[in-house]
Amino acid sequence: MTSRGSIRRGLGSLALALASLAVTLLVLEVGFRLAGVSVGTVQINRATVRRSGNPRLRFELRPGSSVRAEVGYRVNAEGLRGPETTVEKPAGVRRVAVLGDSIAFGYWVSEEQAFAHQLGLMLGEAGQPVEVLNFGVPGYNLEQEIEALRTKALDFAPDVVVVAFCLNDLEGLFSYELGLVQDRAERGRTWHGRLREALLGRSLLFSWIEYRFSELEARRSFVRARNPWGAELCSEALDQQKAALRARLGELRRLLADRGIPGLVVVFPVLGSRFERYPYRELHRAVVEAAEESGLGALGWACTGVPPGPDCRACRPSDFPRLRGY
């Protein structure tokens, strides 16, 4: 009897502990939702990014998806961030296709503040109907951006293509987004992995916990692979980088030239340090020169003076007649 009584008391204590844990988790879940806690990149990635059947892309935006983190994100039926559109270009409208990574996509800014939307507003001031399509995908590098042009953007018959070029686009196929997509695919192979993914997809609390752990691991992996925000950004010799750029941008130019479409490469600086000590001026210049040598227009800060002055060739679009007045 004593033994049975001990078992009952033990089971009762275990049930009470489990019930207390369940109630605590439920209260935390409700609290997280009421507080509107964001789980950042993991939440955005799970809702808006999927694996791609194209081995060169590896991943892509999920058509028709939406999520709210720090700001709201929506992906239209064509797989682009922004309002609904059609593949067929409306009569009388000129189109600009913007390629790029998270900068073009507009991580952490609203759709209205994103580069593509702002560009559309500026171009629209000229009075001609303009539609700027945002083909930016977080985590893409230059090779993926070229493949997105080949397999997606050209179908929309753009009149101009703009490459929103971030310096870490020179890196190989390594991104936080790719790692998350691969992790989800790996989980889908086992029942407990699918159960975990279902829980993470429905619980803000568990998503937040996953976000914190995956963020720590991603930072460790990123440092082991190569940290593009540190001193080792594009550590290869400048002439090697320029040769690789000429090859890739030359491929992009050929895709455009076959259809008579002008292209412009816009180089975005690496933010996070004071510009008077900005270490990547020569790399900016290499990108601009490689773009021009490939037959593309180029716009990018490559000045040696601070602040940039009118004598800086790269502070203005290249002499590209087909872009004038657009």
| Residue 190 CB partners (closer than 8 Å, separation 6+) | none
Backbone angles phi, psi at 194, to 5 degrees: -65, -35
pLDDT at 308 > cutoff 50: no
pLDDT-derived band at 285, boundaries 50, 70, 90: confident
Neighbours of 191 (CB within 10 A): 7
Question: In terms of pLDDT, which residue wins out, 215 or 257?
Answer: 257
pLDDT at residue 303 is higher than 60: no
Mean pLDDT value of segment 254-264: 95
Residue 285 token pair:
């210049």
Identify the pLDDT of residue 207: 75
- Tell me what the mean pLDDT of segment 26-45 comes to: 77
- Among 249, 183, 255, 193, smallest CA distance to 214 is for 183
Buried b (16+ CB within 10 A) or exposed e, 110-146: ebeebbbbebbeebeeeeeebbbbbbbbbbbbbebbb
pLDDT tens-digit map of 153-198: 999 999 999 999 987 777 655 566 666 676 677 777 788 777 777 7
pLDDT of 81 reads: 95
Residue that wins the pLDDT comparison between 246 and 311 = 246
Tell which wins on pLDDT, 314 or 14: 14
pTM of the model: 0.75
Sign, CA dihedral 197-199-204-207, equals: negative
pLDDT band at 2 (very low <50, low <70, confident <90, very high): low
Decide which of 265 and 304 is more confident.
265
* pLDDT-derived band at 219, boundaries 50, 70, 90: low
pLDDT at position 216: 66
Share of the chain above pLDDT 70, in %: 75
Judge residue 233's burial from the number of C-beta atoms within 10 Å of its C-beta, 0-12 exposed, 13-18 middle, 19 or more buried: middle
Residue 72 has pLDDT above 90, yes or no: no
Separation in Å, CA 129 to CA 116, 176, 217: 15, 37, 46
Percent helix, strand and coil across the chain, each rounded to 5?
50, 15, 35
Which tokens belong to 57? 């892309």
CA distances from 181 to 22, 60, 66, 233 (A): 30, 10, 17, 24
Question: In this predicted model, what pLDDT tens digit does every residue of 99-149 receive, in sequence order?
Answer: 999 899 998 899 999 999 999 998 888 777 899 999 999 889 899 999 999
